[in-house]
Chains A and B, each alone.
Chain A
Amino acid sequence: MKFSDYLKYLSIGTIFGFVLMKTEVVSWFRIQEMFRFDSIHMYGIIGLAILIGLISIQIIKRFNVKDLEGKPITIPPKDSSQVTRYVLGGTFFGLGWALLGACPGPMFALLGSGITVMIIPILAGIAGTYTYGAFKDQLPH
């Protein structure tokens, strides 16, 4: 990666982290509110994010838009034949999302905002990822 590439991804990440804070997506309270269906807030954010993602992916595909280096953009499809892993794995993730009140993006943004104890769930998340890798073949997919 060139220096300009680092700058590119760092900038996009910075905007992402900034908006996560401004929209309070990082908030444990907002996640509790979402799972209680008490407010449109989180649904509006995720819904509009999907809408913008959907429209832009369609534009990129239909007009064969190239990336900044002039390479064609291809998005590898996800393997939809494995139903168990998505539903069961997703359930484990959902348990953690509601418990911690943060998913991976917000974990990092919160750390940056000065809540230093977030390093603990990040390390625990790495341990969880490692556990999955170690026992992957024993788990139903």
Chain B
Amino acid sequence: MIEFLSQPWPWYIGGPIIGLTVPLLLLAGGKVFGVSSNLRHVCAACNIGNIEFFNYDWKEVGRWNLTFITGAVLGGFLGGYVFANPEPIALAQSTISDLQGLGISDFSGYVPNELFTWGSLGSVTGIIVLVLGGFLVGFGARYAGGCTSGHAISGTSNLQLASYLAVIGFFIGGLIMTYLIYPIILT
């Protein structure tokens, strides 16, 4: 068991378990899986400037989800620290070569150490990735009304046209960043 928990899981094991989050939350209390709403709940809890979009009872609406995401932090600690995968990620060789060409050399962790340390906040590249990247995720998720969980998993599995449109948008943005913008940022 410990052996299994300490290894990386193949996509055909992990995918279905992630999918089970949808029915588990529905059965637990009729809740719809969607992580980015939590960022809105935090805004609602502070609501500086009394903005209408954040004027709702965040405790009533969001307490379950904030609890869920606290669990995800705990799960990250267990899965990524206590039972961390022992080997570097088995990436496609073409991705590795591509990223090496962009100056990434350390492939040992979940994220490249060149970009994801406190020290990287001292570089323009680090600030673009961590601050602008996070900002766009938060802004875009709310603009689109959901993120990977709310649209790409929850929404599409409930056959919502809106979610298919959002996923098309995710890929338009992702491909523009990957092929046109990231090469400029990293070199």
Which residues of chain A have a CB within 8 Å of any CB of chain B? Answer: 1, 5-6, 8-30, 32-36, 38-42, 44-54, 56-57, 59-60, 65, 67-69, 71-80, 82-83, 85-105, 107-118, 120-134, 136, 139
**Cα(A17)–Cα(B53), bound, Å:** 28
Which residues of chain B have a CB within 8 Å of any CB of chain A? Answer: 5, 7-9, 11-33, 35-36, 38-40, 42-43, 48-49, 51-54, 63-65, 67-81, 83-85, 89, 91-92, 94-95, 98-99, 107, 110-112, 115-118, 120-121, 128-149, 151-163, 165-178, 181-182, 185
Contact A38 B95, CB 8 Å, known A19-B17, A78-B155, A89-B143:
yes
Q: Ordered nearest first, which 7 A-B pairs have the shortest CB separation?
A: A90-B169, A13-B71, A17-B75, A94-B173, A113-B80, A121-B134, A96-B136
Q: Quick check: B133 and A124 within 8 Å, CB to CB?
A: yes
Contact A128 B134, CB 8 Å, known A67-B26, A78-B163, A85-B145:
yes
Q: Quick check: B137 and A96 within 8 Å, CB to CB?
A: yes
Q: Quick check: A110 and B110 within 8 Å, CB to CB?
A: yes
Q: Quick check: A95 and B140 within 8 Å, CB to CB?
A: yes
Q: Quick check: A9 and B67 within 8 Å, CB to CB?
A: yes
Q: Quick check: A136 and B53 within 8 Å, CB to CB?
A: yes
Q: Quick check: B177 and A94 within 8 Å, CB to CB?
A: yes
Residues of A with C-beta under 8 A to B27: 60, 65, 67-68, 73
B180 to chain A, nearest CB (A): 10
27 contacts between A and B (CB under 8 A): A21-B79, A25-B14, A26-B111, A36-B98, A48-B15, A52-B19, A54-B156, A60-B27, A76-B32, A89-B140, A89-B169, A90-B140, A93-B141, A99-B128, A103-B147, A103-B149, A105-B147, A109-B72, A110-B110, A112-B80, A114-B80, A118-B116, A120-B134, A122-B134, A127-B134, A127-B135, A128-B39
Contact A60 B26, CB 8 Å, known A20-B72, A33-B91, A124-B133:
yes
